[in-house]
């Protein structure tokens, strides 16, 4: 029974208290329910008995996954709901917290049903962990019953499952890549890590290049497509699976790019809604979407950062990078209370003759441990960029190639690179064993 899952009592528990510091700060652990699908444009009204539950619903209401929904929270439990809906139309979803004894609760729900529109769903939050009660509630048309205490992510997942099929894989995971300063290598990291992800996991990855005027995704993959992301952004409502397929450029078996036009003869007016819609269509069709953001600050850049499943900040070790990275981290942590922390990649470290802030100092100043530290290596990076190749294609032995594999593993939340490597080494033996049997 889906509601019998162990209740998650705090966001800390979700990210795994007791995990090694590196995992927590570097973001190797992912909240289990962080992949809850975004919740559609529905109206939700909650009637709580306790202030603590009202607060949890309020926290969920402010989360990015509920950004499209309209949520209002009232007190008074099921009795207040019954009175309210005698006078008012019912919303898409009613959440009721109820600690009443079983018979009393069922009687109140029968009264509520008299005024409920047929399309309205009801989710009950109660104290009794009782299968009989659960069955009785389902029989009466209640959609879900959660046992207290309920955490914001658990509630969001339950609501999300009411509007999506919980059996199918959640929609694609969106990674937003941004540089703390211009030219620090954010696009290079985005392209190489996404390519490694597609090669290691053998899953489809799309890179969406939102640097429409100057993006390098086409160049880095040695492609010069005629169409791409600007065509989608100019009429986002027309974008569907078929058009998306036409606008993507395939670079390898599992990696496609949504390339930027990189021409200056037009103006690019990207709207928050258009951008949101385009990313939504891509994520409905592809399991991993890497968004390559330009180093600018516009409403749509901010919105992509706040809505992404995960954010990867690339920074070089100087003061301006430190200040900007700190500002981005602070903004994300204020507004994304139920998400894992952004991930930090330190790039262009140890540039000859350049005075630098040490990685340790940088990490402690912004409160994040870097998931990867990549040296300045103009020869390898310059060569790869000129060839239109990924670093691993150019030189699998390069230290940065290993770094990109690690970033890809961190992105996919594979905890242990070694374990993956070891198990893949065993595959041929296991296959032989299977054949022998």
Ligand X SMILES: Nc1ncnc2c1ncn2[C@@H]1O[C@H](COP(=O)(O)OP(=O)(O)OP(=O)(O)O)[C@@H](O)[C@H]1O
* Residue 185 within binding range of ligand X, rule CB under 6 A: yes
What is d(CA 437, CA 433) in angstroms, rounded to the nearest whole number? Answer: 6
Output the smallest distance, CB 346 to ligand X, in A.
10
The continuous run of DSSP H or E covering 398 comes out as none
* Residue 3 within binding range of Mg ion, rule CB under 5 A: no
Among residues 176, 179, 210, 170, the alpha carbon closest in space to that of 194 is found at: 176
* Residue 196 within binding range of ligand X, rule CB under 6 A: no
Output the smallest distance, CB 306 to Mg ion, in A.
19
Q: Is 306 helix (H, G, I), strand (E, B) or coil?
A: helix
Evaluate whether 309 touches 35 at the Cβ level (below 8 Å).
Answer: yes
Evaluate whether 176 touches 260 at the Cβ level (below 8 Å).
Answer: no
Among 39, 100, 184, 370, binds ligand X (CB under 6 A): 184
Output the smallest distance, CB 223 to ligand X, in A.
16
Evaluate whether 349 touches 185 at the Cβ level (below 8 Å).
Answer: no
Output the smallest distance, CB 294 to Mg ion, in A.
6
Contacts for 117 with CB less than 8 Å, ≥ 6 apart: 89, 90
Q: What are phi and psi of 323, to 5 degrees?
A: -60, -45
Among 348, 366, 371, 401, binds ligand X (CB under 6 A): 348
- CB nearer to Mg ion: give 27 or 179: 179
Output the smallest distance, CB 260 to ligand X, in A.
11
* Residue 188 within binding range of Mg ion, rule CB under 5 A: no
| DSSP code, position 353 | T
20's tokens: 């090694």
Give the C-alpha distances (Å, rounded to integers) separating 40 from 21, 51, 411.
Answer: 35, 26, 26
Q: Which residue sits closest to Mg ion, CB atoms considered? A: 187
| DSSP code, position 239 | -
List binders of ligand X among 318-347 (CB under 6 A): 347
What is d(CA 94, CA 81) in angstroms, rounded to the nearest whole number? Answer: 9
Task: Tell me how many residues contact ligand X (CB under 6 A).
Answer: 20
Helical ranges in 125-258 per DSSP H: 131-139, 152-163, 186-201, 217-220, 229-234, 241-247
Q: Is 150 helix (H, G, I), strand (E, B) or coil?
A: coil
* Residue 262 within binding range of ligand X, rule CB under 6 A: no
Among 294, 303, 308, 392, binds ligand X (CB under 6 A): 294
> Stretches 76-84, 153-161, 358-366, 378-386: which one binds ligand X (CB under 6 A)?
378-386
Output the smallest distance, CB 220 to ligand X, in A.
8
Binding mask 212-251 for ligand X (x = CB under 6 A): ----x-----------------------------------
What is d(CA 256, CA 268) in angstroms, rounded to the nearest whole number? Answer: 23
* Residue 194 within binding range of Mg ion, rule CB under 5 A: no
- CB nearer to ligand X: give 77 or 179: 179
* Residue 385 within binding range of ligand X, rule CB under 6 A: yes
Among 3, 45, 90, 187, binds Mg ion (CB under 5 A): 187
* Residue 309 within binding range of ligand X, rule CB under 6 A: no
Among residues 312, 271, 272, 277, the alpha carbon closest in space to that of 291 is found at: 312
Output the smallest distance, CB 249 to Mg ion, in A.
18
Question: Residue 184 binds which one of ligand X, Mg ion, none, with CB within 5 to 8 A depending on kind?
Answer: ligand X
Residues that bind ligand X (CB under 6 A): 179, 182-188, 211, 216, 294-295, 347-348, 374, 376-378, 381, 385
Residues that bind Mg ion (CB under 5 A): 187
């Amino acid at each position: 029974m889906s509601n019998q899952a162990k209740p998650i009592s705090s966001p800390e528990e979700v990210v795994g208290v007791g995990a090694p510091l590196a995992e927590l700060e570097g973001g190797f652990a992912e909240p289990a329910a962080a992949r809850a699908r975004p919740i559609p444009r529905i109206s939700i009204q909650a009637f709580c008995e306790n202030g603590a539950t009202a607060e949890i619903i309020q926290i969920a209401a402010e989360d990015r996954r509920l950004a499209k929904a309209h949520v209002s929270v009232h007190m008074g439990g099921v009795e207040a709901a019954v009175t309210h809906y005698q006078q008012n139309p019912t919303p898409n979803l009613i959440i009721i917290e109820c600690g009443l004894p079983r018979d009393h609760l069922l009687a109140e729900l029968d009264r509520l049903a008299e005024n409920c529109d047929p399309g309205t769903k009801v989710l009950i939050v109660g104290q009794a962990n009782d299968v009989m009660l659960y069955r009785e509630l389902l029989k009466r048309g209640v959609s879900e019953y959660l046992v207290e205490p309920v955490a914001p992510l658990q509630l969001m997942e339950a609501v999300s499952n009411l509007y999506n099929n919980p059996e199918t894989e959640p929609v694609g995971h969106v990674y937003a890549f941004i540089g703390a300063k211009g030219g620090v290598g954010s696009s290079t990291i985005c392209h190489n890590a996404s390519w490694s992800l597609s090669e290691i996991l053998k899953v489809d990855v799309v890179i969406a290049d939102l640097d429409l005027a100057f993006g390098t995704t086409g160049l880095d993959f040695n492609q010069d497509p005629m169409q791409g992301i600007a065509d989608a952004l100019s009429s986002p409502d027309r974008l569907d699976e078929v058009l998306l397929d036409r606008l993507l450029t395939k670079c390898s078996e599992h990696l496609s790019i949504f390339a930027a036009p990189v021409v200056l003869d037009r103006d690019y007016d990207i709207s928050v809604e258009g951008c949101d819609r385009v990313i939504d269509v891509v994520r409905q069709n592809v399991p991993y979407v890497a968004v390559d953001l330009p180093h600018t600050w516009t409403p749509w850049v901010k919105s992509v950062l706040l809505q992404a499943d995960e954010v990867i900040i690339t920074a070089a070790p100087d003061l301006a990078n430190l200040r900007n990275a700190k500002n981005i981290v602070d903004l994300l942590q204020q507004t994304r209370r139920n998400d894992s922390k952004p991930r930090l990649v330190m790039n262009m470290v140890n540039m000859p003759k350049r005075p630098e802030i040490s990685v340790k100092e940088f990490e402690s100043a912004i409160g994040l441990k870097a998931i990867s530290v990549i040296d300045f290596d103009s020869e390898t990076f310059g060569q790869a960029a000129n060839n239109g190749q990924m670093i691993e294609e150019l030189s699998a032995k390069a230290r940065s190639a290993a770094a990109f594999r690690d970033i890809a593993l961190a992105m996919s939340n594979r905890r242990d690179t070694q374990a993956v490597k070891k198990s893949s080494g065993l595959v041929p033996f296991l296959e032989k064993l299977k054949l022998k049997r």
